[in-house]
Every structure is written in structure tokens, then in C-alpha cells.
């Protein structure tokens, strides 16, 4: 029996990974071999049996409850979609490690978060039977920072959901632009606004871009907003920047389609799903030339030095002023996005399970 830790289902990145992976695994018909470890109090999700627990992620009690439930339910393989796992293990262990953001950008995270992550990843060198990373870049980060053996790590890329696709209903897109007040020249950013997402530099670049364009920022607010609003005030961008807050997926897909350009100047990503979602919708993409982002977008996007504001603003102006370039990037992005499917993610993950259980 395989057990997948589903307690992080409602988290943003890891939750999306977990939900899509489990949905595709259900289509492969392995529900009789896989159960979900959850603290939502349900007995069944889709076709999967639920093993309920009371422990929260990162709690002391999970280090008691996880091994107990693994033993009680005769689990052969435990898969955690994060660096959280039972230190005392009695079965095969698979971890998915998405990125090392707290360690590479320590100034943005608490000492507890950094220390816990460092300790658990170091332990996973000895405890895990296989590490899955969502990019070659994260694999290289693990080897460089922790000395992992290369054959311990399997790279399995994330996918993009099939609902992310081009819309041809112009009236619907017009309604979306009106609803969110995007204007016709809409630059879109999707994601959180933590410091490593590099939003202040994006705003400074916007100040050098044609004044008829607006920047739409989709994502939840947090304490980083103070610095961002200082930049907005300094460069007099109040009328050109719109914060939507959280939007439902159906609106997000429409916003991708309504945008003239998607910009993602992040300083570090383990994968970088939003640029891929934008490309799947046929939206031209500008993103950073660092970490996993070039690996994901290939030659289907314009990649820039995220520390260079002039390069970013010049690239934005270049795309906004050229319909021909917009069309070229759109077509390349659509083709590139087809290479990343959650079905492929599920099939490759299942192969990892099978190889470990056979061994």
C-alpha cells in the first residue's frame, strides 16, 4: 500500500501539486494501491481511501503519529509532497522537494523555518529512498548545498492544467477587462509578492513603459505590500497598478487571456508555474534568466536579468509595441506548454513508486 501525505492540499504551490498529481493518479486507476493521509476528517476523496490524522504539518506530534499510522496500516511506501516526513520510518520514503527558497533567501524567513528545513533536508539524505525535484535547477541546488548523490534524485516536472487554454470569445474577454479595469494594454503578474518575487523592480520598470499600459497584480496581500506601495507612490503609479487580490481559477484563466503580456521577474523559483500557465493561454511571456525559469520556458519567452531594470523595461516596451513579436511569442508558448502535462507527472511518479516497491 502507498500512502500520500495530503494534509497540504489547501496550500498554494504544494497544494496545487498534490491535487493535480492525485487527480491524474486516480485516472490511472491505482486507487486500490494508494491511500491519502489527511486531517480533513473525510473517509474518502474521489476513489481514494483516507487515513485520518490529528497532527498538523511541522508539529512535534506528527513525528509520533506518522510512524504509528504507517505501521498500523501496513504502508509499504510513504510519499510526502514537501520536506516533511517521519524521522522514524518503517517503509520506503519518497519526498518531493520544490525549492530551497528559505535557505537561499534567508533574510525573508524566520530562523525556525530555515533551521527546520535545513535539518529535514539533511536528514532526508539518509532517510529518503528517492527525492523528486520539480526541476533540474532544484536538483542541482540539493547537490550543491547538501551533497546529495545524483542518482538519489529524480526530476519530474510539474504540469499545467488543461483548463488553461486560449479563449476566442472576445465579448467574454471584454467583460473581464471591464470587471478588473485592466485597459487594453494589460501587463499581468500572478503570484505572491514576497521579496524574492522582485515586484519593486517590476514597478520601477513600469515607470519607464508607455503610460497607456497598466500592471495587474494577482495574488494575496501580505506584509511586503508596504515596500511596494512606497515604490508606487514614489513613481506616481497609483493609476497604473491594480491589485486584484485572490481570484478564482476561472477568472484567472480569463485574465491570462485578456493580458497583452505576462511578466514574471522572480529572483528564484523551484519551477515557476505562472509563466507556463500564461503560455498555455497564448499570452506572451517575459521572465527571469535565473534558477529554473529558463529551463521551464525554453526559447518560448523573453528572458531577462531580473536585477536590470532597464533591460526589463526595454523588453516590455519591445513586446507591447510589436504585434508580430506578440504573435511569435504566443505561438511558441502554446507549443512549449504542451510538453508539461500532469498526466506525464503522474505517470513518471508512478514509475518511481513501482521501481522502489520492486526493489
**Alpha-carbon span 267 to 164, nearest angstrom:** 25
Does 254 share its domain with 268? yes
Average pLDDT, the chain: 92
Does 8 share its domain with 137? yes
Cell, residue 65: 503519529
Task: Give the CATH number of the domain where residue 40 resides.
Answer: 3.40.50.2000
The enclosing H or E element of 124 equals helix 111-127
Does 317 share its domain with 345? no
Number of domains making up the chain: 2
pTM, rounded to two decimals = 0.93
**Predicted local confidence at residue 43, as pLDDT:** 54
Does 140 share its domain with 253? no
Does residue 315 surpass a pLDDT of 70?
yes
117-147 pLDDT per residue, tens = 999 999 999 999 999 999 999 999 999 999 9
Does residue 42 surpass a pLDDT of 60?
no
Task: For residue 187, list its beta bridge partners.
Answer: 215, 261
- Alpha helix locations (H) across 235-322? 249-258, 273-280, 293-297, 309-320
Ranking 152-156, 216-220, 225-229 by mean pLDDT, the lowest is 225-229
Helix (H, G, I), strand (E, B) or coil at 73: coil
Does 213 share its domain with 244? yes
Pairing outcome for strands 213-218 and 241-245: parallel
165: in domain: no
Which residues form the domain of 221? 170-337
| pLDDT tier for residue 222 given thresholds of 50, 70 and 90 | confident
Does 210 share its domain with 353? no
Does 323 share its domain with 347? no
Residues 6+ apart with CB under 8 A from 332: 279, 299, 300, 301
260-274 pLDDT per residue, tens = 999 999 999 999 999
Does 104 share its domain with 218? no
Does 13 share its domain with 154? yes
Tell me which of 65 and 340 has the higher pLDDT. 340
Amino acid at each position: 500500500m502507498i500512502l500520500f501525505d495530503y494534509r497540504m492540499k489547501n496550500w498554494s504551490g504544494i497544494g496545487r501539486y498534490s491535487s493535480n498529481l492525485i487527480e491524474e493518479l486516480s485516472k490511472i486507476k491505482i486507487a486500490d494501491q494508494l491511500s491519502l493521509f489527511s486531517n480533513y476528517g473525510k473517509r474518502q476523496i474521489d476513489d481514494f481511501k483516507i487515513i485520518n490524522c490529528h497532527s498538523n504539518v511541522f508539529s512535534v506530534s506528527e513525528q509520533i503519529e506518522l510512524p504509528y499510522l504507517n505501521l498500523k496500516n501496513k504502508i509499504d511506501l510513504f510519499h510526502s509532497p514537501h520536506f516533511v516526513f517521519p524521522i522514524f520510518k518503517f517503509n520506503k520514503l519518497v519526498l518531493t522537494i520544490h525549492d530551497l527558497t528559505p535557505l537561499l533567501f534567508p533574510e525573508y524567513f524566520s530562523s525556525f523555518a530555515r533551521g527546520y528545513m535545513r535539518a529535514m533536508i539533511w536528514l532526508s539524505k539518509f532517510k529518503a529512498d528517492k527525492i523528486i525535484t520539480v526541476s533540474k535547477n532544484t536538483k542541482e541546488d540539493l547537490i550543491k548545498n547538501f551533497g546529495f548523490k545524483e542518482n538519489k534524485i529524480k526530476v519530474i516536472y510539474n504540469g499545467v492544467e488543461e483548463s488553461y487554454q486560449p479563449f476566442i470569445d472576445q465579448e467574454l474577454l471584454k467583460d473581464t477587462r471591464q470587471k478588473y479595469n485592466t485597459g487594453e494594454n494589460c501587463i499581468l503578474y500572478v503570484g505572491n509578492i514576497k521579496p524574492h518575487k522582485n515586484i519593486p523592480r517590476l514597478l520601477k520598470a513600469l515607470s519607464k513603459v508607455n503610460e497607456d499600459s497598466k500592471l495587474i497584480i494577482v495574488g494575496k496581500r501580505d506584509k511586503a505590500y508596504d515596500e511596494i506601495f512606497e515604490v508606487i507612490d514614489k513613481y506616481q503609479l497609483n493609476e497604473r497598478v491594480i491589485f486584484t487580490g485572490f481570484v478564482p481559477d476561472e477568472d484567472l484563466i480569463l485574465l491570462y487571456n485578456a493580458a497583452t503580456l505576462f511578466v514574471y521577474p522572480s529572483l528564484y523559483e523551484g519551477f515557476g508555474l505562472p509563466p507556463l500557465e500564461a503560455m498555455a493561454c497564448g499570452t506572451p511571456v517575459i521572465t527571469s534568466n535565473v534558477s529554473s525559469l529558463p529551463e521551464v520556458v525554453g526559447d518560448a519567452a523573453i528572458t531577462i536579468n531580473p536585477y536590470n531594470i532597464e533591460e526589463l523595461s526595454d523588453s516590455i516596451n519591445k513586446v507591447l509595441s510589436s504585434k508580430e513579436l506578440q504573435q511569435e511569442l504566443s505561438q511558441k508558448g502554446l507549443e512549449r506548454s504542451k510538453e508539461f502535462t500532469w498526466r506525464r507527472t503522474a505517470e513518471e511518479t508512478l514509475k518511481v513508486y513501482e521501481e522502489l516497491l520492486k526493489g
